[in-house]
C-alpha cells in the first residue's frame, strides 16, 4: 500500500484555529479614567471597570491563522469499511508541528493546515464569511 500525504516531514505550514475574539472598549461610566471623585475629593475605583478604564467583552469566535510551524510528526490511520460488497478506505492524516509540540502535542488535521499564509488567510475568510451568512 502506498500512502501519499498532503504535507511532508520538515515542511513549513500555517495552521488555522477558531479563536475567541476579545475587545477592550473604553469604560463609558468613568470615561476611561478608571476612577471617580467623591464630593469630599477622595477617589474611588469605577464600579463598572474596577479601576482599569476599559471593559472586557467577548465577541464570539473567529477563524485566524497561527504562526508557521514545521511538521515534525505524521500520524496516519487507515480504516477499512465494507460497503455494498466493495472495500472502501477512510484515511485520517494528522500532523504535529514544532510550535505546538511533537510527540505529545496538538494534532493538526489536513483541513486545518496550509502551505502558505495566503492560503490560510483565504480559508479563514471563507469560514468567517460562511459563519456570518449562517448567522452563527
pLDDT one digit per residue (tens) for the chain, 136 residues? 677 899 999 999 999 999 998 899 999 999 999 999 999 999 999 999 999 999 999 888 999 999 999 999 998 877 666 666 655 666 688 999 999 999 888 999 999 999 999 999 999 999 999 877 776 5
The three cell numbers of residue 95 are 500532523
pTM over the 0.75 mark: no
Query: Could you give phi then psi for residue 57, rounded to 5 degrees?
Result: -125, 140
119 phi, psi to nearest 5 deg: -65, -40
Burial class (CB in 10 A: 0-12, 13-18, 19+), 31: exposed
Contact status, residue 73 vs residue 108, Cβ threshold 8 Å? no
Q: Which sequence spans correspond to the domains of the chain?
A: 12-19+62-134
* Spatial distance between the Cα atoms of 17 and 130, rounded to a whole number of angstroms: 15
Amino acid at each position: 500500500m502506498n500512502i501519499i500525504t498532503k504535507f511532508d516531514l520538515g515542511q513549513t505550514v500555517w495552521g488555522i484555529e477558531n479563536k475567541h475574539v476579545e475587545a477592550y472598549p473604553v469604560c463609558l461610566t468613568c470615561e476611561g479614567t478608571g476612577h471617580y471623585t467623591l464630593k469630599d475629593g477622595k477617589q474611588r475605583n469605577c464600579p463598572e471597570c474596577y479601576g482599569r478604564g476599559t471593559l472586557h467583552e467577548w465577541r464570539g469566535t473567529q477563524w485566524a491563522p497561527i504562526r508557521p510551524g514545521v511538521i515534525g510528526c505524521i500520524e496516519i490511520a487507515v480504516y477499512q469499511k465494507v460497503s455494498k460488497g466493495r472495500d472502501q478506505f477512510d484515511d485520517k492524516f494528522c500532523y504535529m508541528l514544532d510550535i505546538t509540540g511533537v510527540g505529545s502535542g496538538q494534532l493538526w488535521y489536513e483541513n486545518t493546515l496550509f502551505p502558505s499564509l495566503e492560503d490560510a488567510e483565504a480559508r479563514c475568510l471563507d469560514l468567517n464569511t460562511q459563519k456570518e451568512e449562517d448567522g452563527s
